[in-house]
Homo-oligomer: A and B are copies of this chain.
Amino acid sequence: MADDPKPLSKSSATARRPLPSAHDVARLAGVSQAAVSRAFDPKASISEATRSKVLNAARELKYRPNLLARSLITGRSRIIGVVIGNPRNTFFLEALDALSEELSQAGLHLLVFTARVDSNADQLVEALLRFRVESLLMMSATLSPELAEQCRAEGISIIYFHRRSTMLDGCASVTGANFLGAGVVAEHLIDQGYRNPAFMAGFETSSTSQEREAGFMAKIALHNLPQPAKAFGHFDRPGALIAARQLLSLNPRPDSIYCANDMMAMTTIEVARKEFGLTIGRDLGVAGFDDTEGASWYSFDLTTYSQPVDRMIKKVTELILDETALFEKPHVVVEGELKVRSSTKRT
């Protein structure tokens, strides 16, 4: 037995069997370690012969390149950080799914956090930055201006999804056509003969809610209708239950309610039916925004302006993969369309 000069550090207690490294593969294949690296790089200059020798050895050892080591040296982690700020909204599940699909093809990976309270988004992003993520996708979550600025300085692009950053700082964004869509909804309600619409907002501070309000109000004003009543439903069911009761108890009662998202609209429909005995459409028109799963179900059949997740995520992918797109057209607004359903039919 040859004696072994290696340090004996490898404590056996926790030691998972060490994985094969490129060196091991190289030894088995009878080539240099660099050759192994090249064999796994499609556009490296290497002969077919060596490559297959390497790949065979690799297969035999069940070798898998260590991406952390690679990232360390290339300076590119191939990881995208994602923060989901509204973690119970199906819209973001769909978005995450689409994103995973798109980006995994580009060899990118998603490091995901959810942030129930917006306030700790900064913490989560700190953690993401330690992994040297290449981009940050903020889904309905907001970063502090200071951290955003740091990211910029470090060359990490920030992309807001669904929400817009409050300031015109250096962040990109992909949103639905909130202002436009809200106007379309207003026109539709007026067309249908509703004359006393109310508005259910999300939060005071949400850019999405604000835009979905402004576009609506502009059209209402244009038609010289009275200023709509307004309540805050916080984009979720508990909030919408309260807001709906509030609005439906007004005297005179609104003849229609436009809600800043579908979740609140569906809730409003239920409250109107169950608690106020109203027939949707005839007694009360209800419209939403998003066209999420559920809007088209028989029970709701909700008129709404759609937010096309797949197309929106395509845009996100472009911004992530294409630097020039990021600089030249960082704020993307993706148009949807009005889905007219029975919740706004007066007949």
Residues of A whose CB lies within 8 Å of any CB of B are 16-17, 19, 62, 64-69, 71-72, 75, 77, 79, 82, 84, 87-88, 90, 92-94, 96-97, 100-101, 104, 109-114, 116, 124, 126-127, 129-132, 150, 153-155, 237, 266, 270-271, 273-274, 293-294, 297-300
Contact = CB atoms under 8 A, between A and B. Distances in A.
B110 A111 contact: yes
Query: Top 9 closest A-B pairs, CB basis?
Result: A16-B155, A87-B97, A299-B299, A100-B114, A93-B93, A270-B298, A67-B130, A274-B298, A97-B114
A130 B64 contact: yes
Contacts of A79: 111
A294 B17 CA distance: 47
Contacts of A300: 299
A29 to B, nearest CB: 19
Given A67-B130, A299-B300, 5 more contacts: A17-B154, A66-B132, A84-B97, A87-B94, A111-B112
Contacts of A116: 97, 101
Contacts of A77: 68
A68 B71 contact: yes
22 contacts: A16-B154, A17-B154, A65-B130, A66-B130, A68-B68, A72-B72, A82-B112, A87-B100, A88-B93, A88-B97, A90-B93, A93-B93, A96-B112, A100-B114, A101-B116, A109-B127, A109-B131, A110-B111, A110-B112, A111-B112, A266-B297, A299-B300
